[in-house]
Amino acid sequence: MAGFRIPNPGFRVPRPAAFGVDPSGERMARIRRSPHFRDGVFQNPGGTARTRPSGSAGEFARIYFDKQARLNRAPRGTVPVHATTLADLARPPATGLRLTWMGHSSVLAEIDGQRVLFDPVWGERCSPFPFAGPKRLHPAPVPLAALGPVDVVVISHDHYDHLDLPTIKALAGTDTVFAVPLGVGAHLEHWGVPAARLRELDWHESTRIGGLTLTATPARHFCGRGLRNTQHTLWASWVVAGERHRVYHSGDTGYFEGFKDIGAAHGPFDATMIQIGAYSEFWPDIHMTPEEGVRAHLDLQGGGPGGVLLPIHWGTFNLAPHPWAEPGEWTKDAAEEAGQAVALPRPGEPFEPAGKLPVDPWWRAVAHPMAHPWRRPGAVSAGKEGPVPGDLDLAGER
């Protein structure tokens, strides 16, 4: 063939910086000693979780690429971002606990005089590339540089919509401490975070930062950033406890019985931040539906309503076949049926769990009409089982 040359065996395609690096050395030795690492990979609680889409590829493609369904997965208007976030945050929380949902899973928690930033993603895309991948559906409510000092950044796992290279590089230039699951520290060190500012935890391990105790707790998910997923970094949910208040952040997880154990060991909580978006019947083991998210909150509270549920992991990126507004709508209804208080803030709208909660269904003004509203027969309550909305009608399209 004219012009054909045998590739130089020493040639290597540069690895994108956003891929991070695999753990090695003493970090990898510690991973191998973990009771949750077996057969060369981290294990999920409750057995193997399916991390790849199940079912028919043709059925998934039909649903995912259907023209009307694609329209429904994004808002039809501008998402209303809270306009006075910085001014609101300038005032200390009257009750000692305030949460500000910045979109997706990013939450600023002001707790007993400390500031904790969960899963900060300020990048334009959750992708290793600036030109491709899911793009934000609304801007970040405030510039990261304007947010002010943060005492600790908490990362749940290393997927792009939770661990964002541009955001971490910006925070690396501050004096904040990073609390991360075992193995994730390799990425952060590679991106310029000094090892002395890392607290890298296995499940059930705790660290003390300022007046807060942070504990990594189990979740049912998976990890990976590069083309080769080694499953050598852990995923976690997190408990943060201060002198007066305690909160829980689920990260990404499927529903599992371990929520009851976490609640028994660390609860009840003043507030939980629970993943209720990006679910599908094609990957039921690794993300929760709204009904499962409410059930998880009840488990964490000891089996009944208590505290405040803040729904996260929805509204900012298009990551699943369900309609854009469905997670908010169904969580609102499921929580009401369970008698559970739920906060529904616009992105950037601070609220205090012990104060007046934002409950306006703001998404309705900019969402496409939903084919199927919440339809679950019977009440959602502790100990009651029933069909999951996503199982009844994936994305409201059948």
Q: What is the DSSP letter of 63?
A: H
Instruction: Go through 167-181 and write b for each residue having 16 or more CB atoms within 10 A of its CB, e for each that does not.
Output: bbebbbeeebbbbbb
Distance of CA 135 to the CA centre of its chain: 16
Q: What is the pLDDT of residue 46?
A: 82
Separation between Cα atoms, residue 246 and residue 272, nearest integer Å: 9
Cα dihedral angle (300, 302, 305, 308), rounded to 10 degrees?
A: -40
Q: What is the pLDDT of residue 379?
A: 42
Task: State the pTM of this model.
Answer: 0.89
Separation between Cα atoms, residue 298 and residue 33, nearest integer Å: 33
169 to each of 100, 140, 193, 337, how far by Cα in Å?
A: 22, 17, 8, 43
- Enumerate residues 6+ apart whose C-beta is below 8 A from 331: 276, 290, 293, 294, 309, 311, 342
* Spans of the chain, pLDDT less than 70: 1-14, 49-67, 227-230, 372-398
Q: What is the pLDDT of residue 361?
A: 96
Q: What is the pLDDT of residue 388?
A: 36
Q: What is the pLDDT of residue 47?
A: 74
